Chains A and B, each alone.
Chain A
Amino acid sequence: MSQELRDDEKLIDEITSKEYEYGFETEIEMEYFPKGLNEEIIRKISEIRNEPEWVLEFRLKSYRIWKKMKPPKWPHLQLPEIDFQDLIYYARPKNMPKYKSLDEVPEEILETYRKLGIPLEEQKALAGVAVDAVFDSVSVKTTFEEELKKHGIIFCPISEAIRDYPDLVKKYLGTVVPPGDNYYAALNSAVFTDGSFVYIPKGVRAPMELSSYFRINARGTGQFERTLIIAEEGSYVSYLEGCTAPQRDENQLHAAVVELIAKTDAEIKYSTVQNWYPGDSEGKGGIFNFVTKRGLCQGDRSKISWTQVETGSAITWKYPSTVLKGDDSQGEFYSVALTNNFQQADTGTKMIHIGKNTKSLIISKGISAGRSNNTYRGLVEVKPGAENARNFSQCDSMLIGDRCGAHTFPYIEVANPTAIVEHEATTSKISDEQLFYLQQRGIDEETAVGMIVNGYAKDVLTKLPMEFAAEARKLLAISLEGSVG
């Protein structure tokens, strides 16, 4: 073997040098439900949250559906058997309903969010961003709630929305992702805890970014957040979620459901920066991220745009999708998915064209390093009535090193002859020539890899709200530290 190849081997092995920055644990007294899942646990979840009867019914119905379902086998993933009776389904800081004022929030929790770069004090917060902070199963603080209310915007934890706006929640919950949609959606519908509720009234443009920050802290627990966003006629909202978890040997389950509804002429931009703990360099620990996200472009000329930067989780299984029901409605999906070490990702989107002149755009950039596997899976479906539907898909994969895999499964189903569907795909390896060029200008190897990968992902990163694009760029570079030879 040549010296160069040996060096490559060595460097690929050195992936261990990558550190997860958010792996700390918050010491705080917690209240847990006992392990396991049954109707009694579900009743307890509903009770502790003071939920009305119809929510309990929704949960129990979902649970009964879930019990009859089997986990999906089709993803390109090596998935260990999950013992759903060995999980804790509810955990919250002790004696803690939602804090009324910031003074009531325990210092440990405030400190946690400070360390994550999300100060919950409004005067210190990022200008122009309202934050809903979810700690394990509960929302601990929502900033700028009052300010937003002046515009008629509702931004609060879903538990509060169920209490304060039951009619709205009842009208839309489970309409885009019904409980029986899939195995993990059914599970979520049975045991969902906090997540955000957003309602933008007719004609209102949200004056700031809305964002949720999800933190898993407790051991042995799953997080099952539920988010529901409704944009009334002619309204606009940009929403962003971020996620992190402590560094642990065990795998933890995160099974969320997100539903978006865009009425006539409304636009929803939904961005995700997913940085759950990915496991260590030997593939031990890390979050299982099994998420169902779907948006409904209900009204004519409505628009839903998904942007995701996925760098975390041991296993990611997620396909943010858009149902283009309204005529002239538009769906967009911009994705960067990076896997390193033993991470696995099977992610992509679905664009379902129902209305006339509907348009969709898919830009997916996969980056695989270490011994990871990265799969793009996407469906473009044109229903019979979708006259003049258009889709363009671009799916690129980049490989770093020679022990990782990139896979692409594009599905196209067209039932209307006027549709135009285009798909382009490329696979590339990070080139030694490019690396050397940057190094010859004085840039060290790791920085050079970060620059090349960020350049590759630029089309997607520019779609993120500005405050988060810088963070995402940093994240991509950090996630690849030591992965190249």
Chain B
Amino acid sequence: MKPILEIKNLHAKVGDKEILKGINLTVYPGEIHAIMGPNGAGKSTLANVLAGKPGYEVTEGEILFKGKNLLEMEPHERAQAGLFLGFQYPVEIPGVSMINFMKAAVDAKRQAEGKEPMSPGEFLKFYREKMKETGLPEKLQKRNVNEGFSGGEKKRNEIFQMALLQPDLAVLDETDSGLDIDALKAVAEGVRKLHTPENAQLIITHYQRLLDYIKPDYVHVMYDGKIVKSGGPELAEKLEKEGYKWLMEISMNNE
């Protein structure tokens, strides 16, 4: 089986500051990887570099996405190729309706795949189906993109978009932050439902609690721009109990 994602010795900086200092990570179809780590470890930077957010400069290393050089692709091309980023802070876009936004997104992806755009009727059916599946309240769909959504609603909306776009790789950046327990459960359930043997998920989180609801196959701990430890789900439990301090010590000893 070929990997969906291969990150090799990735270094990246913002301005003059090096944030990622040699990341190595391989993700195969069907896998769920969790990336944990303290604030400032570079977790969100990794997510943004994967999605191609402007302002980050890759200085060394490479990223292959389904065998292709991801770093040569524009952000929208990465998305069309099947990479989805669930945002930590989804922005509001006044005046742009959710349904028009998602129709444009789905059609862009279809076009990249050489398919015809969906007819409005066909799309509406698909859209409603996914709304039901992800349990997104109907009232939110009448609004503009993220406009007037609560924190929890914004995150659920991210999962809803993921359901519509059916990515090969979903990178969820602190999707659990700022959620109460009910919203957390709802989001986790949505993510779990969307997982298939063909796709993969990269879940970035500060806390272990999301992993109570989504069982990762692998847990990686990031510290100071590197993955300092990888293991199974038990690693997350250890972190929850003992904090990050022991890891910092490992990291120091390695240098």
Contacts and interface: CB of A to CB of B under 8 A. Distances in A.
A436 B76 CA distance: 9
Contact of A432 (B54, B57, B145): B54
B94 A455 contact: yes
Interface in A240-254: none
Interface string A410-446: 0000000000000000000001111011111111110
A457 interface: yes
B53 A436 contact: yes
Nearest to A452: B93
B161 interface: yes
A123 B190 CA distance: 53
Contact of B80 (A2, A442, A455): A442
A54 B91 CA distance: 62
B29 to A, nearest CB: 21
A2 B55 CA distance: 9
Interface stretch (B104-112, B179-187, B226-234): B104-112
A21 B57 CA distance: 38
B144 interface: yes
A437 B57 contact: no
B108 A452 contact: no
B172 interface: no
A2 B165 CA distance: 33
Given A437-B91, A437-B93, A442 B54 contact: no
Pick from B78, B96, B102 the residue with the most CB of A within 10 Å: B96
Contacts of B104: 441, 443, 447, 451
A439 B161 contact: no
A438 B218 CA distance: 30
Given A4-B54, A441-B161, A431 B91 contact: yes
A3 B75 CA distance: 16
Given A434-B91, A455-B95, A439 B101 contact: no
Contact of B165 (A434, A441, A454): A441
A458 interface: yes
Contacts of A4: 54-55
Nearest to B55: A4
A436 B144 CA distance: 17
B137 interface: no
A113 to B, nearest CB: 30
Interface in B44-63: 51-55, 57
Contacts of A434: 91, 93
B101 A438 contact: yes
A22 interface: no
A58 interface: no
A433 B96 contact: no
Interface string B71-86: 0001110111000110
Contacts of A458: 94-95
B148 interface: no
Given A442-B108, A456-B95, A437 B87 contact: yes
A441 B144 contact: no
B90 interface: yes
Given A451-B96, A457-B95, A439 B75 contact: yes
Nearest to A461: B95
A4 B53 CA distance: 11
B91 A433 contact: yes
Contacts, number: 85
B134 to A, nearest CB: 16
Contacts of B79: 439-442
A388 B58 CA distance: 63
B15 interface: yes
Given A4-B54, A437-B87, A443 B105 contact: yes
A444 B54 contact: no
A459 B85 CA distance: 30
Given A436-B54, A442-B80, A455 B165 contact: no
A3 B57 contact: yes
Interface in A432-485: 432-434, 436-445, 447-448, 451-452, 454-459
B76 A442 contact: yes
B108 A444 contact: yes
Contacts of B55: 4, 432
A442 B101 contact: no
Nearest to A365: B95
B51 A440 contact: yes
B143 to A, nearest CB: 12
A440 B108 contact: no
Contacts of B80: 442
Contacts of A445: 74, 76
A455 to B, nearest CB: 3
B168 to A, nearest CB: 13
Nearest to A431: B91
A7 B57 CA distance: 13
B96 A452 contact: yes
B74 A439 contact: yes
Interface in B145-165: 145, 161, 165
Contacts of A444: 74, 76, 108
Pick from B54, B74, B79, B94 the residue with the most CB of A within 10 Å: B54
Contacts of A433: 91
Contacts of B105: 438, 441-443
Nearest to A445: B76
A455 B76 contact: no
Contact of B112 (A2, A438, A442, A456): A442
A454 B108 contact: no
Nearest to A458: B95
A334 B8 CA distance: 54
B75 to A, nearest CB: 4
A118 to B, nearest CB: 26
Closest 6 CB pairs of A and B: A455-B95, A458-B95, A455-B96, A442-B79, A441-B105, A442-B108
Interface of B: 15, 51-55, 57, 74-76, 78-80, 84-85, 87, 90-91, 93-96, 100-102, 104-105, 108-109, 112, 144-145, 161, 165
Given A438-B101, A441-B108, A445-B76, 5 more contacts: A436-B75, A438-B105, A441-B161, A442-B109, A456-B95
21 contacts: A4-B55, A433-B91, A434-B91, A436-B51, A436-B53, A437-B91, A438-B101, A439-B52, A439-B75, A439-B79, A440-B76, A440-B85, A441-B79, A441-B105, A442-B165, A447-B108, A452-B93, A454-B96, A455-B94, A455-B144, A456-B94
